[in-house]
Amino acid sequence: MSATPEMHGEAPVLSEEHAKSAGRKGRIAGQDPAKRQQILDAAKQRFMEYGFEATSMNEITAAAGVSKGTIYVYFEDKEDLFASLCKRERAALMDFAQSELDASTTVREALTRFGIALTTRLTSENVIKAQRMVLGVVDRFPKLAASFFRPEPFSGLMVLQGYLDKKVASKELLIDDTDLAARQFIDLAMAGLYKRRLFGNLQEPPTAEAIAATVAKGVDVFLTYYGGKR
């Protein structure tokens, strides 16, 4: 593929190779955070609507309203863009999960709020659609799947483990392995709702009432064992 820009009238149309080369040089000069978010927002919309494979960098460029050279100032390629989008969404979930824990006054309230927030998010249409998209291309794009599921498919795990560590230190909970306990609570909070959604056995997101009831029972089971009275 030629690295020379083709000309249509007076506007240069960069080849893929030329655009990437220009982008690599541009990265040295720094980036505009607002522009980066603009590109990520456009990519999210295209990926969710058309899937990873069917979405091209040219389409993302057009949706974001930026030049072809500009997108490569921020991202090496489509997989790098997707990985960055995953990182942004994961950070947003972790911040939200942390705020739910911080806003609580008791362990029961904290676990309940955390469980409802996480289950609601993970069974939502957008998240389920994204997970199905990645699972559908995992063999052809292993790095894509690794970026999506790293460090954990449920990024709230680390937030919850940190909270459990504090409660063990204050002797409010009796847990010898907070990593395992955090994983167990997440499973209890979702109790089949997530997997049923992912594999199509539950066509619509569960209602707020169904999620609250499931999480409440999960909290009961968790605190019965780890509540410090064994």
User: What value does the mean pLDDT take over residues 10-16?
Assistant: 45
Q: 57 falls in which pLDDT band (50, 70, 90)?
A: very high
Q: What is the pLDDT of residue 10?
A: 37
Whether 1 has a pLDDT exceeding 50, the answer reads: no
Q: What is the pLDDT of residue 153?
A: 44
pLDDT top residue among 229 and 144: 144
User: What value does the mean pLDDT take over residues 212-218?
Assistant: 96
pLDDT top residue among 48 and 177: 177
CATH class, 16-76 region: mainly alpha
* CATH of region 89-226: 1.10.357.10
Listed residue (183, 196, 130, 190) closest to 155, CA to CA: 183
Q: In Å, what is the CA distance from 191 to each residue of 52, 90, 217?
A: 29, 22, 9
Domain boundaries, the chain: 16-76, 89-226
Model confidence, pTM:
0.73
Q: What is the pLDDT of residue 216?
A: 97
Phi and psi for 211 in degrees, rounded to 5?
-65, -45
Whether 229 has a pLDDT exceeding 80, the answer reads: no
What are the helix (H) ranges across the chain?
16-28, 33-50, 57-64, 68-74, 78-102, 107-122, 125-136, 142-149, 156-169, 178-190, 193-198, 208-226
User: What value does the mean pLDDT take over residues 209-214?
Assistant: 96
pLDDT top residue among 143 and 58: 58
